[in-house]
Amino acid sequence: MTKKLFFPALVLFAFVVPNLFSQQPLFASIEKGHFQLHKFEQTIGEESYEMTQTKESVSVKIDFKFTDRGTAVPLTATFRGAADLTPQEFVIKGKNSRQSEIDQAVEVESGKVRLRDREKWTDASRPSQFFTIAGYAPATMQMLMVRYWATHSLPASLTTLPNGSVKIEPRGEDIIAVDGKAQKLSRYTVEGLIWGRETLWFDSSQNLVAAITTDAEFDHFEAIRDGYESALGDFVARAGADNMAALAELSKAISGSHADPLALVGATLIDGTGAAPIADSAVVIEKGRITAAGPRTQVKIPATATTIDETGKVLLPGLWDMHAHFEQVEWGPIYLAAGVTTVRDCGNEFEFIKSVRDAIADGRGLGPRLLLAGIVDGSSKITIGVNRVDTPEEAKAWVDRYHDAGFQQMKIYSSVKLDDIKIIADEAHRLGMTVTGHVPNGLNAFQVIEAGQDQINHIHYIAAILAPPIPPGSKRLDYAKAVSEINLNSSTSQAAFAFLKAHHTVVDPTLALMEYFTASTAKPPASFEPGVLKLPVELAQPLNDVGPPSPEADVYEKQFEKYVEIVGALHKAGVPIVAGTDQTVPGYSLHREIELYVQAGFTPMEAIQAATIVPARVMGLDKDLGTIEAGKRGDLIVIHGDPLQDIHNTRNVESVVTNGVMYNTAELWKSVGFKP
């Protein structure tokens, strides 16, 4: 088996790599380059570099800047190295997302390296082979890293400083049509700079021409060299296909019990219906369906069943994450490891997410069941993506396209006009779809709900209709103060709750995301989300990189506390709440979300139902999913500890069953670099 897996890679090294990098690079005295930067295929900025080489050294200056939804993200980097690109000095400073900053440096000496993170310097031993780079940006540093790797014996793993290591793998050659002309490019994947893998293409002159990756917010991100813009869609599609192949390869390496029938006996069953727990239960699954569930003494277990003793443990329905952005194939095993068996993706690249959904459904990849909300946005300075709705014709066309591709919902983003929301909602409802999303700028929740929007993403849009009006141009601090002073017993608040209930509006609050915005060195992420201690280094670094508390930190903390209270008040008023995380700590944040619901006043059972039967009802799938009952699909989890006594016990997922196949979660965590 080992020879079958690795021999093709050796062939690629022998024939693909020498074609590009068999000799030491022969740079002109000055090399210049320019990349267009994209998010979700929308052009948002640019990167330029200038490299000077002498016989003894190489010096590179890089400017990188994009504007994401109205926020500038500028970054500069300088690199100095020997003629063979062995690093001597590296400095990077600026922002690598709307929310995160970076200020790091590496100085290389004869026997050691000096590393700086902001003002703090540390010393470390000098590796025998290494390169200096800090994350996905700038793309020029990725180009230099691959050049270094290819001219230094193609190491299976290359140490990177200030931290981490990467694996670079040749993946073959592609013929790409660029402005009608065919070009042969070599494709590589890089693992270790971000969580997951990136796809890069190089031309025969060792120039990086395209990088398909994700940024520090986990969003799809693309860097395309000038002259190759016309092939952007082709690069994205090919990277997606390569990711699908990677997902299939990853899935083959993870064992799972396909025993049929499968019987789990002895555990305490919390079936999700709200009924009292059943001690010493039995659950039987045949052909992916639950055929019996109840007290063991009342369940007939087939003689052919594989029986697993789960005495001392607890069975729960498989969990749902109702606000996800499934940007990388690595999310699949992580969701399952966290006990999440169904996910609603709330906006993605059309071709990518459709391919991932189909691969999982067809058994070609490992992950949760995906339900899709097709994102659309209007044109403005804060637009995201390329799925634009600015006319009635475009509104109808996008709904039809998403419907024909099997999407369940439409997702409204922040620049869609009110008249277009009405058209989107009418067409979606006609086709049996529902509408979720943001409240676009200049509108309020009352308006979009009356226009036909069925669901609201993020609690701050609900807070906005409870707080006193905020004058245009007000600062973020003014809004935070207004929210923190909301009176939930006022006639304004009570009327808003009645309106939401009367319109059957569904809210996914994403409280775990809101809480993460309050993190600082005084309130480190691990103090409320212990999952950050289990992350691979390339994911842990941006999520743990928080600054000191601002002078207004207490106001923002009160704002978050009010958000929690609002969720409790909505629940008490009968407004359906579904658990969703957006993009915070992969897997773990769903557990934090339901912990916060208990803090808001939910019973532990109600919090569990917000991540099981309530979303199943909202999505019209409660006949198939959401509880552990005979006739439903075999989606459930096995945990340690009673979550009805302590909701934190939902984190203790030992195994997960999806579509009747049982997986050990420790193996799933490890498969993508997490600590179990």
Full 3-state SS string of 515-531: HHCCCCCCCCHHHCCHH
User: For residue 653, what are the contacts with CB-CB under 8 A and spacing of at least 6?
Assistant: 337, 338, 339, 637, 638, 639, 665
CATH of domain 347-457: 3.20.20.140
Q: How far apart are CA 408 and CA 402, in angstroms?
A: 8
Longest dimension (CA), the chain: 82
Cβ contact 293:636 at 8 Å: no
Q: Which of 638, 636, 618 is nearest to 628 (CA)?
A: 636
Q: Hunting for tokens 């600054």 — which residue is that?
A: 547
Which pLDDT belongs to residue 328? 87
C-alpha count within 13 angstroms, C-beta hemisphere, residue 561: 10
Cβ contact 315:278 at 8 Å: no
Q: Which of 169, 157, 166 is nearest to 11 (CA)?
A: 169
Q: Which of 147, 143, 149 is nearest to 32 (CA)?
A: 143
Q: How far apart are CA 324 and CA 593, in angstroms?
A: 13
Peptide bond into 261 cis (omega under 30): yes
Apex CA 44: angle with CA 247 and CA 380, to 5°? 115
Q: How far apart are CA 147 and CA 86, in angstroms?
A: 11
Extract the tokens encoding 353: 């997410």
Q: How far apart are CA 170 and CA 298, in angstroms?
A: 57
| b (16+ CB within 10 A) / e for 218-245 | bbbbbbbbeebeebbebbbbbbbebbbe
Which pLDDT belongs to residue 251? 79
Cα-Cα-Cα-Cα torsion 388, 389, 393, 397, nearest 10 degrees, comes to 60
| b (16+ CB within 10 A) / e for 312-342 | ebbbbbbbbbbbbbbbbbbbbbbbbbbbbbb
Helix (H) or strand (E) holding 238: helix 232-252
Which pLDDT belongs to residue 247? 78
User: For residue 523, what are the contacts with CB-CB under 8 A and spacing of at least 6?
Assistant: 549, 553
Cβ contact 315:272 at 8 Å: no
Cβ contact 269:216 at 8 Å: no
The residue ranges of every structural domain in the chain are: 2-252, 347-457, 460-508+510-576
Alpha carbon 587 to its chain's center = 9
Cβ contact 348:240 at 8 Å: no
Q: Which of 189, 166, 192 is nearest to 245 (CA)?
A: 189
| b (16+ CB within 10 A) / e for 489-501 | eeeebeebbebbe
Q: Which amino acid is at 294?
A: G
Which pLDDT belongs to residue 21? 52
User: For residue 33, what are the contacts with CB-CB under 8 A and spacing of at least 6?
Assistant: 48, 49, 140, 207, 225, 226
Q: How far apart are CA 123 and CA 73, in angstroms?
A: 30
Q: Hunting for tokens 């319109």 — which residue is that?
A: 503
Cβ contact 285:657 at 8 Å: yes
Q: Rounded to whole angstroms, what are the CA distances from 363 to 162, 245, 368, 641, 661?
A: 39, 12, 11, 32, 11
User: DSSP E strands: which ranges in 289-404?
Assistant: 289-295, 306-309, 314-317, 319-324, 340-345, 369-376
Cβ contact 141:79 at 8 Å: yes
Cβ contact 171:187 at 8 Å: yes
Cβ contact 208:49 at 8 Å: no
Q: 139 phi and psi, to 5 degrees?
A: -65, -30
Which pLDDT belongs to residue 503? 98
10-residue stretch averages of pLDDT, the chain, 676 residues long: 29 38 56 96 96 94 96 98 97 93 95 94 96 97 98 97 95 93 96 93 96 93 97 92 82 86 98 98 97 97 97 98 92 96 96 90 91 97 93 98 98 98 98 98 97 98 93 88 97 97 98 96 97 92 88 97 98 98 94 98 98 98 98 97 98 95 95 93
User: For residue 10, what are the contacts with CB-CB under 8 A and spacing of at least 6?
Assistant: none
